[in-house]
Amino acid sequence: MRNTLKYVKDNSGRYVEELKDYLRIPSISTTKSHTKDVANCAKFVASKLKNAGMKKVEIIKTKGHPLVYAEWMGAENKPTVLVYGHYDVQPVDPLKLWKTPPFEPVIKSGKIWARGANDNKGQNFVHIKAVEALLKNDKKLPVNVKFLIEGEEEIGSPNLSQFLKTNRNKLKCDAVLISDTSLFAPNVPTINYGLRGLCYMEVELIGPNRDLHSGSFGGSVANPINELAKLIAKLQDKNGKVTIPNFYKNVVPLTKKERDNFKKLEFSDEKFAKELKVNQLQGEKGFSTLERLWARPTLDCNGIYGGFTEEGAKTVLPSKATAKMSMRLVPNQNPQTIAKEFTKYVKSIAPKSVKINVKALHGGLPCMVPLESDAIKAAARATTRAFGKETVFTREGGSIPIVVEFMNQLNAPAVLMGLGLDTDNIHSPNEHFSLASFQKGILSSIYFMEEFSK
Ligand code: BES
Ligand code: MN
């Protein structure tokens, strides 16, 4: 073990250089013109797994972007850990807000800056490098390890569910280790035990058959943008409650115990607001910020377009308006049921003067991980050792829809060993990842394998 830790330290410069190579590949899964880059990124991951000493490294074709799989099964009578992560990244727009180009990683202020630095390349690379350090020094791992790194997480993992169902045996494991979430605060070792679900909708309102002069026609027909704005406004009441019928029907209320645990976490609304440069926070009445973020469902408009949006002014009464809206869900809400309720309700409140199309784009179930498993306990001991501090247990506001399917299909607990920070600008310009977290993440992974083998 001592050699392994020394190896991590001695090779930290090279590790960061290799992470930079990983980050130079623009593996944007949603954009067709990047398909080749995504495929190259899969090859990159496979080559790093091979160099680390993993066996049976495979690139598995799917209907979409490929999966990368690898295993090392030499720890007889020891548990098996499946490491899941994703090598695809989000688009980079708006490009002009990046201080340095998104696919030219730089190190500044102890952080690495690039698209994917946190989400998820930096976080999954940690586990590849942990395995490398163990295999180069001990020639073996304390547990059996499988890797499954996918290329379609950011588009809702459309092909992974099927793969899980048909490959239960191949993926058989005792715990699924995932670093794709956040530390509670810088340097605070954290295990997450909850993720919110998601229901993503698109609403289109159609008015007149063509764009019209707003002088010749304004006042005589419905303006789809005006009507869409009214419709969106009706989806929440003055207390921040979503008004869709039955929206809260299956929401599991927070227990007193969990509320108390949230309260014990050191969190300041003031600091939170200040960092975001807002004068005041806002959310559902009767709940604290952490409760709103982790344990309450929400509705947000993600984008709205229609009419004239270029520079200057153009007097036009647009023919169409569209909004993309998403709802974050909590146990036991179901994305399909919520999509139905949403569709029924928005159709019922849209005026007769416009046509309405409602589409469900994608969704995912919320997830709770039981805290009693050996895997979670081992993970908490591991992160405490790596960071030299007591581990905290938190829930997350974000979603990783495939996690529930892992737990159900493989009957193994998920270990959400978050290493990012909510301030790392994931999905946003100037994404970054702390090099200290990268380093401590590698140690956490090594210690986890050791602790879990006991
Ligand atoms: N890494 C995130 C999930 C996440 C976000 C965890 C914030 C913790 C905090 C993941 O890559 C992601 O972006 N998930 C999407 C899911 C969607 C594309 C189905 C999300 O949460 O929007
Ligand atoms: Mn993401």
Q: Output the CA 154–ligand 2 centroid distance in Å.
A: 5
Mean pLDDT (the chain) is: 97
Q: What is the mean pLDDT of residues 86-98?
A: 97
Q: What is the mean pLDDT of residues 220-236?
A: 98
Q: Residue 172 domain-assigned? A: yes
pLDDT at position 407, please? 97
Note down the domain range covering 88.
2-195+366-453
- For ligand 1, atom 19, name the residue with the nearest CA: 156
Which of 290, 325, 400, 416 is the best mutation target for the ligand 1 pocket, counting ligand atoms within 8 Å of the beta carbon and taking the most?
400
Domain end marker among 363, 381, 411 = 363
Residue 1: pLDDT band with limits 50, 70, 90: confident
Whether residue 355 is found in the same domain as residue 380: no
Q: How many Å apart are CA 83 and CA 101, to the nearest integer?
A: 30
Q: Output the CA 327–ligand 1 centroid distance in Å.
A: 13
Give how far Cα 290 sits from Cα of 102, 242, 286, 355, 397, Å.
31, 18, 12, 39, 9
- Hey, CA dihedral for 113, 116, 122, 125, is it positive or negative? negative
Which of 330, 425, 426 is the best mutation target for the ligand 1 pocket, counting ligand atoms within 8 Å of the beta carbon and taking the most?
426
Q: Output the CA 425–ligand 1 centroid distance in Å.
A: 12
- Write the CATH number for 323: 3.30.70.360
Q: Output the CA 454–ligand 1 centroid distance in Å.
A: 32
The answer, yes or no, to whether residue 165 has pLDDT greater than 90, is: yes
Residue 11: pLDDT band with limits 50, 70, 90: very high
Phi then psi dihedrals of residue 139, to 5 deg: 65, 5
Q: What is the mean pLDDT of residues 71-100?
A: 98
Q: How many domains does the chain have?
A: 2
Q: Residues lining ligand 1, CB < 6 A?
A: 119-120, 153-154, 156, 180-182, 198, 362, 364, 396, 398-401
pLDDT digits (tens, 9 = 90+) for 336-385: 999 999 999 999 999 999 999 999 998 999 999 999 999 999 999 999 99
Residue 75: pLDDT band with limits 50, 70, 90: very high
Q: Output the CA 120–ligand 1 centroid distance in Å.
A: 10
The amino acid that residue 57 corresponds to is V
pLDDT digits (tens, 9 = 90+) for 275-322: 999 999 999 999 999 999 999 999 999 999 999 999 999 999 999 999
Cβ neighbours of residue 283 under 8 Å, at least 6 residues apart?
240, 289, 292, 296, 298
Whether residue 33 is found in the same domain as residue 178: yes
HSE toward the beta carbon, residue 413, CA cutoff 13 A: 21
pLDDT digits (tens, 9 = 90+) for 400-444: 999 999 999 999 999 999 999 999 999 999 999 999 999 999 999
Question: Measured from the CA of 418, which atom of ligand 1 is nearest?
Answer: 8
Domain end marker among 318, 340, 363 = 363
Whether residue 109 is found in the same domain as residue 52: yes
Whether residue 56 is found in the same domain as residue 129: yes
Question: Measured from the CA of 196, which atom of ligand 1 is nearest?
Answer: 21
> Is residue 124 within 8 Å of 87, Cβ to Cβ?
yes
Q: Residue 447 domain-assigned? A: yes
The proportion of the chain whose per-residue pLDDT surpasses 70, expressed as a percent, equals: 100
Question: Measured from the CA of 422, which atom of ligand 1 is nearest?
Answer: 9
Q: What is the mean pLDDT of residues 55-75?
A: 98
pLDDT at position 354, please? 98
Whether residue 62 is found in the same domain as residue 202: no
Residue 77: pLDDT band with limits 50, 70, 90: very high
Which of 29, 152, 155, 180 is the best mutation target for the ligand 1 pocket, counting ligand atoms within 8 Å of the beta carbon and taking the most?
180
Domain end marker among 317, 343, 363 = 363
Q: Output the CA 396–ligand 1 centroid distance in Å.
A: 10
The amino acid that residue 328 corresponds to is R
pLDDT digits (tens, 9 = 90+) for 236-284: 999 999 999 999 999 999 999 999 999 999 999 999 999 999 999 999 9
Give how far Cα 13 sits from Cα of 20, 104, 136, 262, 352, Å.
11, 17, 17, 38, 64
Which of 399, 422, 423, 425 is the best mutation target for the ligand 1 pocket, counting ligand atoms within 8 Å of the beta carbon and taking the most?
399
Question: Measured from the CA of 362, which atom of ligand 1 is nearest?
Answer: 19
Q: Residue 290 domain-assigned? A: no
pLDDT at position 303, please? 95
> Is residue 370 within 8 Å of 413, Cβ to Cβ?
yes
Residue 2: pLDDT band with limits 50, 70, 90: confident
| Ligand with the closest atom to the CA of 394 | 1
Give how far Cα 143 sits from Cα of 53, 378, 379, 453, Å.
14, 12, 14, 6
- For ligand 1, atom 1, name the residue with the nearest CA: 180
- Write the CATH number for 152: 3.40.630.10
Whether residue 203 is found in the same domain as residue 344: yes
- For ligand 1, atom 18, name the residue with the nearest CA: 154
Q: Output the CA 180–ligand 1 centroid distance in Å.
A: 8
Cβ neighbours of residue 35 under 8 Å, at least 6 residues apart?
65
The proportion of the chain whose per-residue pLDDT surpasses 90, expressed as a percent, equals: 99
